[in-house]
Amino acid sequence: MTKIGIMSFAHMHAHSYAECLNRLPGVELVAIWDDDAKRGRKMAKEFGAPFVKDRDKFLARELDGVIITAENVKHRALVEAAAAAGLWILCEKPLATTVKDAKAMVKACKKAKIGLGTAFPCRYSLPLMTAKDMLDSGAYGEVYSVACTNHGQSPGGWFADEALSGGGATMDHTVHGVDLLRWMLGKEFTQVYCELGNQFHKETMKTDDLGSMNMEMEGGIQVSHIASWSRPQSFPTWGDVTMEFICENGVLNVDAFNQKVIVYNDKTKHAGWAAWGDNPDLGLILDFVSAVRDKRDPVISGIDGLRATEVTAAAYKSSKTKKAVKV
Amino acid sequence: MNVAIIGCGGMGRLHAEMAANCGLRVVACADAVRKAAMSAAAPYRAKAFENPMGAIKSKEVDIVVITTPTPTHEKYVLAAAKAGKHIFCEKPFGRSSLECKRSIAAAKKADVKLFVGHVVRYFHEFEAIKAQIESGAIGEAGWVKLYRGGIYPGNAKSWFRDYAQSGGVTFDCMIHDLDWVRYVFGEPKRIFCQALLRKTPTQLDYSQVTMRMKNDVIATIIGTWAHPSGFRVKVEACGSKGMVQFDSSDAPVSGEARKTASGPTMIVPMSPVAVSPYQREWEDFLGWVEGRSVPRVTAQDALRAVQMAEAALQSAEKRQPVKL
């Protein structure tokens, strides 16, 4: 039995990860720690695992690995503590809010000889995996340009508090597109231009809620990416991940979460989309558990988290300097 | 009033039809390809010219419609102004802002009306989007995205395939969206553009723009001449209280023939409307010519659109933003 603990339910993805752990055979969610004891106790009840208030006591329990789903800026301290305790780690994205932190985390895990993974579940989305297979088949030839979006509704809470999140929608939603393209095309980002701002939520938050980026990858691939919290509360779903690949032999489009039924409900007076696609989180958690068991790095490593953080940092730098900057 | 069509391609024939619908007489059709001039002239029993200057100078002509390749616009505008004719020039106004400025000066000097066909301002869906934004339906607008294009236009020998003449999708096609964004959100501050401008192994162009407006709105604009077929327009505007979306592929009429003789082609999907945007554009132009009204789009607007497209291509070359 592989024993996994969860550190913090600040990030809503923790709910899905906990469900995955409870669904998978040969894994046990053995303990929950949270610096918000009220939330931790509630989650412990919901997912049937004991809540441990003291962090050191939590880390001293019989654990093989931890999933860290705290606020972005707390990732580093928790990763360093878990690494020191010799535990395998899956850290929520973005791995860190600064390149310095991300590098320190990768270094600490290497030193402790433990595996560090970054939670980029989109790599386990079947529509995106299918698109990668289509590109890899060679049928589409060389990729010239890509237009990506990762829109969302405003998550509010700590996400909109720079002291905890390190930034807004650009911090939250750049890394998905960046990691997907690094994975799908096997190339690194070289240059980033970004216009960002608080375009929709001036009354309720101070961080940016949209970044419009133009980026370059090795070999001169031209990429646009929109990271946003632009979707209004009345939008029928949480948001999207879309990509249009302009290739030598054709065009490939992916709308990763466009497996849905449209629901018109008089109670809510609102049309909604009910998703029926497979849950990509399951693949992510399965790989992490296997990595813990086999004492290897998760497929999506800390280095992947670091590379994505480097691009986000370049985007923020570009928006300040008003120039395209090298990654 | 009598109309001369200079350049009898698709747009020339379309404008001849719109002019005729407005009750004008199409009296001259000019094209360097004699067959094109003759077939455009036939339905109106107009005179066919191989030399555009002959048609422009023709005494019975009151209005000159210029639907030739972009780099030739200026010389025909100048000739028409000199001949004292009113001018309807297809977009892009010119291949450079300098050409546009000389055209504006010539029309002013000759005291003739010079109109540039930025027809997107007259499209019903674009009017509806603008009306929603202005009614406050989405709150304060913060971001707009426009997407336009499809298959690369023209045959292998077409001037569209010469980037020096057409400027590719950024200059010829995206200019519609550059103009519309400025129309709705005001002056731009800076622009960043990535453009493919490929010739080999297949000619295709794909252009991605991020533009910051003076009022802080951010615009993301994508233009494509990189698709294997079709034509599509998508618009999305998001604000503090909502968003408005349009997608031309979600159309009221759609059909697919089992067999087509010519294979894939550039089909502009047009939802049926009682008065087409091109017709409305003509009515607006004529209202101005007849002194009844001021048009929705001015030559100055068209010059600004050319300046924005020029800046975009400059940015694409420098791989850095360009101030406007």
CATH of the domain at A73: 3.40.50.720
Report which of A121, A250, A241, A88 is spatially closest to residue A173, judged by C-alpha positions.
A241
Contact present, A119 and A95 (Cβ < 8 Å): no
Contact present, A30 and A4 (Cβ < 8 Å): yes
For the segment B160-195, what is each residue's pLDDT rounded down to a tens digit?
999 999 999 999 999 999 999 999 999 999 999 999
Q: Are residues A116 and A136 in the same domain?
A: no
Peptide bond into B201 cis (omega under 30): yes
Average pLDDT over residues A308-312: 98
Q: CB of B234 within 8 Å of any CB in chain A?
A: no
pLDDT at B269: 57
Facing A193 at nearest CB: one of B196, B224, B321: B321
Asked whether this complex has an ipTM greater than 0.90, the answer is: yes
What distance in Å separates the CA atoms of residue B23 and residue B150, rounded to the nearest whole number?
34
Q: How many domains does chain A have?
A: 2
For the segment A293-305, what is each residue's pLDDT rounded down to a tens digit?
999 999 999 999 9
Strand intervals (E) in chain B: 2-6, 25-30, 47-49, 63-66, 86-90, 114-117, 141-150, 188-195, 205-213, 218-225, 231-239, 243-247, 322-323
For the segment B312-324, what is each residue's pLDDT rounded down to a tens digit?
999 999 999 999 9
- Cβ of B143 within 8 Å of Cβ of A199? The answer is yes
Q: Are residues A178 and A198 in the same domain?
A: yes
Average pLDDT over residues B214-242: 97
Q: Are residues A113 and A198 in the same domain?
A: no
Contact present, B189 and B323 (Cβ < 8 Å): yes
Q: Are residues A146 and A263 in the same domain?
A: yes
What distance in Å separates the CA atoms of residue A235 and residue B301, rounded to the nearest whole number?
35
pLDDT at position A269 over 90: no
Q: Are residues A246 and A130 in the same domain?
A: yes
Q: CB of B145 within 8 Å of any CB in chain A?
A: yes
Q: Are residues A171 and A271 in the same domain?
A: yes
- Cβ of B208 within 8 Å of Cβ of A224? The answer is yes
Sign of the CA dihedral A86, A89, A95, A99? positive
Average pLDDT over residues A230-245: 97
Structure tokens at A198: 């608080």
For the segment B264-285, what is each residue's pLDDT rounded down to a tens digit?
555 555 578 999 999 999 999 9
Contacts of B175 (CB under 8 A, 6+ apart): B91, B92, B305, B306, B308, B309
What distance in Å separates the CA atoms of residue A219 and residue A144, rounded to the nearest whole number?
9
For the segment A114-125, what is each residue's pLDDT rounded down to a tens digit?
999 999 999 999
How far apart, in Å, do the first and last CA atoms of chain B sit?
40
Residue of chain B with shortest Cα separation from A224? B208
How far apart, in Å, do the first and last CA atoms of chain A sit?
42
Structure tokens at B103: 């055209």
HSE of A307 in the Cβ direction (CA atoms, 13 Å)? 22
User: How many interface pairs between A and B have CB atoms less than 8 angstroms apart?
Assistant: 110
Of B111-115, B140-144, B250-254, the range with the lowest mean pLDDT is: B250-254
What distance in Å separates the CA atoms of residue A33 and residue A50, rounded to the nearest whole number?
9
CATH of the domain at A150: 3.30.360.10
DSSP code, position B208: E
What distance in Å separates the CA atoms of residue B233 and residue B221, rounded to the nearest whole number?
11
- Cβ of A232 within 8 Å of Cβ of B208? The answer is no
pLDDT at B272: 86
Give the domains, in start order, of chain B with CATH numbers: 2-117 (3.40.50.720), 121-253+260-273+297-323 (3.30.360.10)
Tell me the three state secondary structure of residue A76.
helix
If one counts every other C-beta atom within 10 angstroms of the C-beta of residue B249, the result is 11
- Cβ of A232 within 8 Å of Cβ of B242? The answer is yes
What distance in Å separates the CA atoms of residue B216 and residue B203, rounded to the nearest whole number?
36
What distance in Å separates the CA atoms of residue A181 and residue A311, rounded to the nearest whole number?
12
Angle (CA) A129 B203 B259, round 5°: 75
* Alpha-carbon distance B266 to nearest alpha carbon in chain A (angstroms): 16
Peptide bond into B321 cis (omega under 30): no
Residue of chain A with shortest Cα separation from B191? A195
Residue of chain A with shortest Cα separation from B211? A195
Q: Are residues A56 and A143 in the same domain?
A: no
* Alpha-carbon distance A92 to nearest alpha carbon in chain B (angstroms): 28
DSSP code, position B154: S
- Cβ of B226 within 8 Å of Cβ of A246? The answer is yes
Domain of residue A21 covers 2-121+281-301
Q: Are residues A180 and A38 in the same domain?
A: no
- Cβ of B319 within 8 Å of Cβ of A216? The answer is yes
Q: Are residues A169 and A315 in the same domain?
A: yes
Q: CB of B210 within 8 Å of any CB in chain A?
A: yes
CB-based burial, A289-308: b 16+ in 10 Å, e otherwise = bbbbeeeebbbbbbebbbbb
Residue of chain A with shortest Cα separation from B193? A214
- Cβ of B240 within 8 Å of Cβ of A202? The answer is yes
Average pLDDT over residues A128-145: 98
Q: Are residues A30 and A140 in the same domain?
A: no
Interface probe with B: pick from A193, A209, A258, most Cβ of B within 10 Å: A193
Q: Are residues A140 and A104 in the same domain?
A: no
Q: Are residues A15 and A144 in the same domain?
A: no
Average pLDDT over residues A25-31: 97
pLDDT at B268: 54
- Cβ of A230 within 8 Å of Cβ of B321? The answer is no
pLDDT at B266: 54
Q: CB of B198 within 8 Å of any CB in chain A?
A: yes
Mean pLDDT taken over chain B: 95
